[in-house]
Structure 1
Amino acid sequence: MKKALLVIDYTHDFVATDGKLTCGEPGQALDEKISALIEQFIDENEFVVFANDLHEVNDPYHPETKLFPPHNIRGTNGRNLYGQVGKVYQMHKEQVFWLDKTRYSAFAGTNLAILLKERGIDEIHLVGVCTDICILHTAVDAYNLGISTVIYAQGVASFDAAGHDWALRHFEQTLGAKVIK
């Protein structure tokens, strides 16, 4: 079975202490686990995708403009990958795929499904933030596309602890995903 690792929104704005929409310490605690998984997938010659939120300054048409403070704005430090994950990305830039996304799901409005199909990938592994927003919506879309999903409980975090816990249960109980604890 071919698989892919999707590293979702592990950026400065979502993880750093001074990020615009940060998970803070729970997100920062993922750095080592996510970095190790990236290295493992690269070593196994599997597909690694960095799916990162992209917003424009003062976009009045984007629904998140009314829901959250401006974050992951094009050309800002907020879009840079956080910590060791950023360093691993720099070391392996030629071996991984950067995917800009403008919605919660890494599938919405992107060519991710096509990229996976071209490579014969039928299982995705999800890490990053936020468990109950972008990870969740990506997992729902994968379910709807018939793609098996694995989520690493120690590889995802949220700024909402209750939402995080709910999403982990939802992955298993409603989407049939495998949650590795």
Structure 2
Amino acid sequence: MTMKVDYGSHDALLVVDMQNDFCEGGALAVAGGAALVPSINAEIEAARAAGALVVASRDWHPVDHVSFSHRGGPWPVHCVQDTPGAAFHPDLALPDDAIRVSKATAFDADAYSAFDGTGLGGYLQEKGIERVIVCGLALDVCVHATVLAASREGFTTLLLEALSAAVDPDAIEACHRDFEEAGIEVRA
């Protein structure tokens, strides 16, 4: 299943945090995360066939990251650099030429958006990207932050909600309000 996006060479498909720790059995699992992989793979294939750029972000935390609960943060230990939990889901078909963006790599600062401290915005602008299409995990955390940041960076932004899942389904309504206020298209 694809989302029927009319991709072109000025588009980037940004797949957010499709990592083992965010899928079932992981340290911070999002219900339904792994089930998204086949549809995201189809979307990647459609984007590539139309000449769009494919980007994949990942949480890439150092040991003892500030966001971990034992350090006073809100989350359990997850996506620690070079661990199986930080790896992309094994069935995610990322092309070899996909751009991989690591975020939240500093010990003392967290980052939810794929644009936060990564240089992604400038890179996409250099590549002539005008529109960013976003999907992945988790809708109410890193996807939310990434979508809003893409819009703030000046990109036309589209969220593929059917290819995203939330940690807290009750938070989706608030996310929708934020997206609407920012003028972001949400495709269910």
TM-score, length basis structure 2? 0.85
What is the CA-CA distance between 1:96 and the residue it aligns to? 0.9
Q: How does 1:5-44 map to 2 (within 5 A)?
A: 5-15=13-23, 17-24=24-31, 26-44=32-50
Percent pairwise identity: 29
What is the CA-CA distance between 1:84 and the residue it aligns to? 2.5
Q: 1:123 aligns with which of 131, 135, 154?
A: 131
Aligned residues: 171
Q: Which moved more, 1:62-71 or 1:40-49?
A: 62-71
Write out per-residue CA displacement over residues 98-127 of structure 1, whole angstroms, 9 at most, x where no aligned residue: 111111000100010111111111110001
Change in Cα spacing, 1:28 to 1:63, as seen in structure 2 (3 Å) is closer
TM-score, length basis structure 1? 0.88
Q: What is the root-mean-square deviation of aligned Cα atoms in Å? A: 1.5
Query: 2:67 touches 2:75 (CA, 8 Å); kept in 1?
Result: no
List runs of 5+ in structure 2 lacking aligned partners: 1-7, 105-110
Using CA pairs below 8 Å that are at least 6 residues apart, which structure has the higher relative contact order?
A: 1
Q: Give the corresponding residue for 2:4.
A: none
Instruction: Supply the distance in 1 between the matched residues of 2:43 and 2:98 (Cα, whole angstroms).
Output: 13
What is the CA-CA distance between 1:42 and the residue it aligns to? 1.2
1:70 equivalenced with 2:48 (yes/no): no
Letter in 1 for 2:187: I
List runs of 5+ in structure 1 lacking aligned partners: none
Q: 1:54 aligns with which of 56, 60, 74?
A: 60
What is the CA-CA distance between 1:168 and the residue it aligns to? 3.3
Letter in 1 for 2:175: A
Change in Cα spacing, 1:165 to 1:49, as seen in structure 2 (3 Å) is same
